[in-house]
A and B are shown apart, each in its own frame.
Chain A
Amino acid sequence: MATTGDTIQSISAYLGVKCGKITYDGPEKIPVMKGKTGTRKGFTTILKHLARAAEKQNLIGENLGEKAVVDQWLEFKTCYIDRCGAEKDTNQILKELNTYLSDKVYFLSHRVSLIDLALYYTLYTTIKELTFYDKQKYLHLSRWFNNMQQSNSIRQSSLYITFSKTQLYSGSAH
């Protein structure tokens, strides 16, 4: 799993704003960003600040309902995804995300939001290590991920992850 710092760096590169070096604070390793306008602490805080600085407010939601969804999944990233140790838990989370995405193109409505960006970078290595079997098992998550990586500005320098369009394994999936 990508470190929180790397994820923030990638997103700031995507947004075209500078975030400087990310340090970590306290036993909970809260990410800290020191900028001209002051120090910001916490994953959600930093990402939303960067999006505002880049004047891409729509990434953090255009109304209260959307904002709540963005907040919630960014919190989910910090409090669940980052904190699951065992493979079992990671699989559990992949399964949850997969189910959530089963009727969605993006996490929030019909456009890319901070959630998609945060989870794309966070999950990159995890998804990369998945076998074709697992990729098929997490079909919706794979579809979402594959969709995300089509954008060069999102994928940046990381390699394409191959997803097979053909169903390789019978049964089990869906």
Chain B
Amino acid sequence: MKLYTDPGNFQTLKLLISAEIGKKTVDIQEVKSEDHVVPYLSSNKLPVLEVYPNKYLFSCNAAGRFLLSQDEDNESAVDQWLDWESACLYPSVFSYLAAYANSNKVDNELAQNVKTLLKHLDNELKGKETIVGDNITIADVALWSTLYPLWKGKFVLKGCDNDFQVVNGWFTSLSDHPAFQKAVSVIFKGDDSVAMKTSLTQQPAPLRHIEDSKKQPVQKQQVQKQTNKQKDDTVSSVPEKVIASPEEVSAATEAWLNGTKLCPTPVKRQHPILPQEGRRNVLITSALPYVNNVPHLGNIIGCVLSADVFSRYCRLKNYNSIYICGTDEYGTATETKAIAEGSTPQQICDKYSAIHRQIYEWFNIDFDYFGRTTTKQQTSIAQDIFWQLQNKGFVLKDSVEQLHCENCDRFLADRFVEGTCPLCTFDDARGDQCDACGKLINAVELINPKCKLCKNPPKVRSSNHLFLDLPKVEPKLQSHLTKVFENGTWTSNAKTITNSWIRDGLKPRCISRDLKWGTPVPLEGYTDKVFYVWFDAPIGYISITANYTDKWEHWWRNPDKVEYYNFLGKDNVPFHSVIFPATLLGTENKWTVVNHMSATEYLNYEDGKFSKSRDTGVFGDQARDTGIPADIYRFYLLYVRPESQDSSFSWDDFLLKNNSELLNNLGNFINRALTFVSNSFDGTIQTMTLIPDDYNLLALVNRELKTYIDNMESARLRDSIRNILSISRLGNQFMQENKPWVLVKGTDAEKLRAGTVVSLAANLACLLSVLLQPYMPQVSATIQGQLNAPPTCNVIYQDFVCHLVPGHKIGKPSPLFQKIEATTIADLKKKFAGQGPASTGKAKGKKASEAGPSVAASPEEVEKLTAQVAAQGNKVRELKTNKAEKSIVDTEVAVLLNLKKKLAAAQGQDSAPSSGGSGKKKGGKKPQPVQEVKQEVTGTASTGNPVEVERLTKAVDEQGQKVRELKTNKAEKSLIDGEVAKLLDLKRQLAIAQGQDPDAAVGGGKKKGKKK
């Protein structure tokens, strides 16, 4: 162990005495009083004990206690003395000593403080040899050491030996102890008051307690300072002047002088865009947004916006690119939404497709074509692909056990079943995929499945279905993936998800569904079914292209000449990297199959998730109403694009980014440069005579430009924004260094220099406008308008070239960005906070029980309704047994549900749980809805009946005991399940008897899991 100390430090006594008594060897390292020892502390406080390399004890009391290694009889009493020593005595003694050492005289007030403390000690020590217990403890050592300079040496506190005789007795007796004597001789080698003085003056004074009154204003100041600091942040983060290498400078010089000739001219976009020989043909698709909802900012950045940035970049690079997207409209969700809104699925699609279109238009998403999946082409292409698969033998037939909800009278689509994930036991998994482990699951495998609509457990029924034989396609898929993983751009999450999916083994995947709203299956015997949306939806990319041009096969049947980029959220990866490619490869025909995949993680909203139902977060249509331009949203969303990790949309950060990066950095630079050209040079670009420093700037700009291109090529869209901002920072720095506002008032030569500086700055602004175009198209257009920039500049070339030549007239500059005020943000934050995090389970239960007594109707009413429910229930069963027409059954079921709701309301219960009678029993026999209801009525009748409650409580306890016993004895599962079902039932009855929501009582122990 090493002990670092300066000479003459009285606190070191604590350690030396302890080491001596505790028989520990310490290796004393003498350092200077101002030396820092502990790497993580800024203070130079000594002594410090290094227990073993890099493990430090910087508290003398803690270190001393450690060295002393004593069994303390009363640890708490020792704690208390050490607390007092460190918080009261030591600071007080040190202040007295340091003042004495500095001024050579006693400060009476400080001396008085010490005396007050000594008085306390004097009282406490009466009749004791040592402070705690019968032996010397660290409390004695610590106190003695701190008091030592008051009793001995140059700075003694006169009269204390007399005034505090008890302390004096204790002090003197300890002074005779050899360990104490030895320590003193080591530290104070004779009477070394000089060393002690140095130590006292150079060691940091312990902090004193601050009065609360003093604290208050400090805190206020703190807040103000913070905002100032945020401003400083952008200014001070201007990079230090960097010098580029000579090669870089000469390349930059060459490009600046002659680059315009090499720089390609932009190719005009002409619809329909078709692949061309000799050009890079890029097919870009963004995951099709599902039609039944308004997209939120997370959906927007997740696919359409990201793909838009990339597509705009491709155009600036003169790639022959096409960006295809549309709304995904088939599926159960649309059907349900239609039922909810009382219209046909087609009407729903028309309505929401238009909403989507408007939102993307507002966000300036520049699709080459935005279509939809409910078209003739979709049917014909999907069916054609199916026939190709069928003919090559990649389609299997099998009967499937499928979940069927009797209550809703329908087969449940995967997304309409919820339950516990069989793989990771996450208890809020959807039927098709678990949000927690990301694995795809089969709805029937869910543990405790529930119908999403009515919460009843669905039953398994069998039905014949078609399967895509994934195991048979696997070799083709694997070889394609190996190739594209190597040559293409795949985000790591896309690769990981795909790999893990294949590693887990591919199984035949069902591609048909018992639904109506979808692409009909053309195969005889299955014509009443439709294709599963995830078989169907990716084919939408193809059919939407077919709606755009009848030469769609040039894009889609042309894998050798076309590169295909997918942009999507990570939840969609397996469908795009496994199922869709497998579908296309299985046809054994030429199809363009995904080469590159850019998958985003999730975007959170503030500290939670976006949620439509809770009104939390900003949704597409609401963004427009905030009055903040779309470009600002685009910029921020891309700045926080969840590329490698989940990220969050934070309004505070939004404000910060707008005000610091856009307003103070980018906007400031461009506006300053242009205003100068406009005011001092009549809006004309001057002859530019560059000096070496300027070429260095060009080289640094080129560095950023090259990284920008690299990032863009590998779809790291977030990183490229940093390059743009860095270029703008370089520009600001350049203006600041050259001060054209001074030069312009100077000699002729200086005026010429000013002309060069601002004209170069204007050219930089022109470059920025081009680089910014994928991110902020409107702002880019505004800058180019102000620059009166030639259309030929809209191309990204590897180097910075001069597009604004001397003599060029610029337009009228005006500020580009507006400051966002904190008050505005506060309002927006409030507006979009929604109802806060859900605490539904609890709240509902409470509400129900509160509402119970007051709303509950008369017993007669309840009885009447019960009878009606029973009658209606019989009617429905009869109809079902006689296989009546579905529509008739449906209406009768609706009547039944309505009655049940009324009944529940009359009983003062939450209507939702009791409308699903069969949900009450888990496992066991087939439930009898009507009896069930009756049971509840009797339950309700006995509400508040203490005898009944007591009986049930007892029964629950007994049953609980039984279950526990069975579990302990590892009884058969079926047996346990049966008993558990009984227990749950009893609990429900008890809850009803107590007037509580029965489902809340049973579900109480089960918490809704959080994502991830």
CA distance A161 to B230 in the complex (A): 20
Q: A58 within 8 Å of B by Cβ?
A: no
**A164-B653 in contact (CB<8A):** yes
Separation in Å of the A90 CB from the closest CB of chain B?
8
Beyond A30-B84, A79-B207, A86-B218, whether A99 also contacts B51 by CB under 8 A is: no
- Quick one: which of A125-153 are within 8 Å of B by CB? 129, 131-134
- Closest residue to B643 on the A side, CB-wise? A166
Chain A interface, number of residues (Cβ within 8 angstroms):
55
Q: B274 within 8 Å of A by Cβ?
A: no
Chain B residue contacts of A168, Cβ below 8 A: 640, 653
- Closest residue to A84 on the B side, CB-wise? B207
- Quick one: which of B749-765 are within 8 Å of A by CB? none
**B221-A68 in contact (CB<8A):** no
The one of A27, A49, A160, A172 that contacts B209, using a Cβ cutoff of 8 Å: A27
The one of B40, B62, B210, B650 that contacts A69, using a Cβ cutoff of 8 Å: B62
- Closest residue to A31 on the B side, CB-wise? B83
Chain B residue contacts of A156, Cβ below 8 A: none
CA distance A124 to B65 in the complex (A): 30
Separation in Å of the B17 CB from the closest CB of chain A?
16
**A52-B76 in contact (CB<8A):** yes
**B640-A166 in contact (CB<8A):** yes
Q: B962 within 8 Å of A by Cβ?
A: no
Q: A96 within 8 Å of B by Cβ?
A: yes
Q: B237 within 8 Å of A by Cβ?
A: yes
**A26-B88 in contact (CB<8A):** yes
CA distance A117 to B60 in the complex (A): 23
**B223-A129 in contact (CB<8A):** yes
Beyond A42-B84, A79-B206, A164-B650, whether A71 also contacts B65 by CB under 8 A is: yes
Separation in Å of the B65 CB from the closest CB of chain A?
6
The one of B87, B606, B642, B653 that contacts A78, using a Cβ cutoff of 8 Å: B87
**B39-A78 in contact (CB<8A):** no
Chain B residue contacts of A90, Cβ below 8 A: 222
The one of B58, B69, B643, B644 that contacts A64, using a Cβ cutoff of 8 Å: B69
Q: B214 within 8 Å of A by Cβ?
A: yes
**A40-B59 in contact (CB<8A):** no
Chain A residue contacts of B607, Cβ below 8 A: 160-162
- Quick one: which of B202-229 are within 8 Å of A by CB? 206-210, 214-215, 218, 221-223, 225-226, 229
CA distance A95 to B51 in the complex (A): 23
Separation in Å of the B649 CB from the closest CB of chain A?
10
Chain B residue contacts of A75, Cβ below 8 A: 59, 61-62, 82-83, 86
**A69-B207 in contact (CB<8A):** no
> Chain B 574-614 against A: per-residue CB contact (8 Å), 1 yes, 0 no?
00000000000000000000000000000000110000000
**B39-A170 in contact (CB<8A):** no
CA distance A100 to B41 in the complex (A): 8
- Quick one: which of A3-20 are within 8 Å of B by CB? none
Q: A28 within 8 Å of B by Cβ?
A: yes
Chain B residue contacts of A76, Cβ below 8 A: 59
Chain A residue contacts of B207, Cβ below 8 A: 79-80, 83-84
Beyond A65-B51, A68-B57, whether A78 also contacts B648 by CB under 8 A is: no
Interface centre among A87, A100, A102, A160, by most chain B C-beta atoms within 10 angstroms, is A87
The one of A30, A52, A68 that contacts B66, using a Cβ cutoff of 8 Å: A68
Q: B103 within 8 Å of A by Cβ?
A: no
Chain A residue contacts of B652, Cβ below 8 A: 131-132
The one of A30, A40, A78, A87 that contacts B222, using a Cβ cutoff of 8 Å: A87
Separation in Å of the A29 CB from the closest CB of chain B?
6
**A131-B230 in contact (CB<8A):** yes
Separation in Å of the B136 CB from the closest CB of chain A?
17
Beyond A68-B63, A68-B65, A131-B230, whether A42 also contacts B87 by CB under 8 A is: yes
**A45-B86 in contact (CB<8A):** no
CA distance A92 to B40 in the complex (A): 11
Q: B722 within 8 Å of A by Cβ?
A: yes
Q: B645 within 8 Å of A by Cβ?
A: yes
> Chain B 628-667 against A: per-residue CB contact (8 Å), 1 yes, 0 no?
0000000000001011111110101100100000000000
CA distance A169 to B668 in the complex (A): 20
**A164-B648 in contact (CB<8A):** yes
Separation in Å of the B938 CB from the closest CB of chain A?
39
Q: B42 within 8 Å of A by Cβ?
A: yes
Chain A residue contacts of B66, Cβ below 8 A: 64-65, 67-68
Chain B residue contacts of A28, Cβ below 8 A: 87-88, 91, 208-209
The one of A52, A96, A133 that contacts B40, using a Cβ cutoff of 8 Å: A96
Separation in Å of the B635 CB from the closest CB of chain A?
14
CA distance A68 to B86 in the complex (A): 14
CA distance A99 to B42 in the complex (A): 10
CA distance A129 to B42 in the complex (A): 23
Chain A residue contacts of B221, Cβ below 8 A: 87
Chain A residue contacts of B653, Cβ below 8 A: 132, 164, 168
Beyond A92-B42, A132-B656, A162-B650, whether A45 also contacts B226 by CB under 8 A is: no
The one of B61, B214, B230 that contacts A85, using a Cβ cutoff of 8 Å: B214
Separation in Å of the A134 CB from the closest CB of chain B?
8
Q: B75 within 8 Å of A by Cβ?
A: yes
Q: A110 within 8 Å of B by Cβ?
A: no
Chain B residue contacts of A171, Cβ below 8 A: 237, 239
CA distance A27 to B221 in the complex (A): 25
**B63-A45 in contact (CB<8A):** no
CA distance A71 to B207 in the complex (A): 18
Q: B858 within 8 Å of A by Cβ?
A: no
Chain A residue contacts of B215, Cβ below 8 A: 85
CA distance A29 to B218 in the complex (A): 19
The one of B62, B222, B226, B648 that contacts A162, using a Cβ cutoff of 8 Å: B648
Separation in Å of the B11 CB from the closest CB of chain A?
13
Separation in Å of the B115 CB from the closest CB of chain A?
14
**A79-B87 in contact (CB<8A):** yes
What are 27 A-B contacts with C-beta separation under 8 Å?
A28-B88, A28-B209, A30-B83, A30-B87, A42-B82, A43-B83, A48-B75, A65-B51, A67-B66, A68-B59, A68-B65, A69-B62, A71-B59, A75-B59, A79-B91, A85-B214, A87-B221, A96-B42, A99-B39, A100-B40, A131-B656, A132-B650, A162-B648, A164-B653, A166-B647, A168-B653, A171-B239
Contacts beyond the supplied A27-B209, A164-B640, A166-B642: 16 A-B pairs with Cβ under 8 Å:
A26-B88, A28-B91, A43-B87, A45-B76, A45-B79, A45-B80, A68-B63, A71-B61, A72-B62, A72-B63, A78-B83, A79-B91, A83-B207, A85-B214, A129-B223, A171-B237
Q: What are the 9 A-B residue pairs with the smallest beta carbon separation, nearest first?
A: A42-B83, A83-B207, A72-B62, A72-B59, A68-B66, A166-B647, A99-B40, A71-B62, A45-B79
